Amino acid sequence: MSGWLTEQIDRVLQRRMQRRWSHLAERSTRMQLEELSGLRQKARALRRNLDRVIFEAEHRLALPVIGSNAMRKPLGTDWSWRPDLWRGPIPVPGFSTVPGKASVCEGATVFHDCRRSELTVRQIRNTREADLAPFGFRMDVFRFDGSFLSLVLDLPPGAAEGLKLRHLIRLDVIVEMEKPLEIFARLNIKHGPNVEQIVRELPLGDEEVMVEFDLAYTKVNEKRVERLWVDLIFEGPEMNQIILRDVTLSRRPRAEL
């Protein structure tokens, strides 16, 4: 009985809240500036919590319906991750005339050096049966007079925790292109004042591609690893549409010989 009563009270309170904000929205055009400023502050505080709920709900209910860690992982994986750009809806799904440095969402930034930007980016919904990621990321490139175009992904702190030279870091990408182009992946590892970089070219010809970064061939100081990030670099992207259906990273220790 208490559960039923609580549900009824919640419904009444929700209806009152909706009526109140509907009334405030209608009055906002006639409010004094001081009153309107206070209302804006309250609305922003409310929106922050609403956005959090919507993000998590969209992520968990999105098609394809998956859990946050649903991805293909090699045997022995001790850390894996899918960036938010492919995991849930972002606040601004797309924009055109992208500037030379543009934050798409937290942890994902587009860089280029065009004098005149004719680049459009947009988060799209994945609906194919084969897709594990709920969302994809599309870049439409028209005239391109720059020397580089890259998407930089900041890895979370968990990628650096316990990182050893015996680790292999794997990058899996599902990519579609209107016409072939070269894509390079550069892993950056900041350890103390130094940054170690490993570059791999993604294989052409297949939609699902994978590269691995072997830390055994680096000079990374295991005790001073601070953070990691990945640059996806697109060579000659002019007059092309590039869709990244999914991007995931995983880490596993190399098998002992």
Digit-by-digit pLDDT tens for the chain (257 residues) are 467 777 777 787 788 888 888 888 888 888 888 888 888 888 888 888 888 888 777 666 656 554 445 778 888 899 999 999 998 888 888 989 899 899 999 999 999 998 888 899 999 988 887 788 889 999 999 999 889 999 999 999 999 999 999 999 999 999 999 999 999 999 999 999 999 999 999 997 777 899 999 999 899 999 999 999 999 999 989 999 999 999 999 999 987 65
How many CA atoms lie less than 13 Å away from 60 in the CB half-sphere? 6
Please give the distance of CA 219 from its chain centroid, rounded to a whole number.
Answer: 29
Rounded CA-CA distance 2/20 in Å is 27
Kindly report whether the global pTM for this prediction surpasses the value 0.75.
Answer: no
Query: Residue 50: what pLDDT?
Result: 84
Give the domain ranges of the chain: 2-61, 79-253
Its sign, for the CA torsion 53, 88, 135, 104, is positive
How many CA atoms lie less than 13 Å away from 156 in the CB half-sphere? 12
**CATH classification of 79-253, choosing from 1.25.40, 3.30.70, 3.40.50, 2.60.120?**
2.60.120
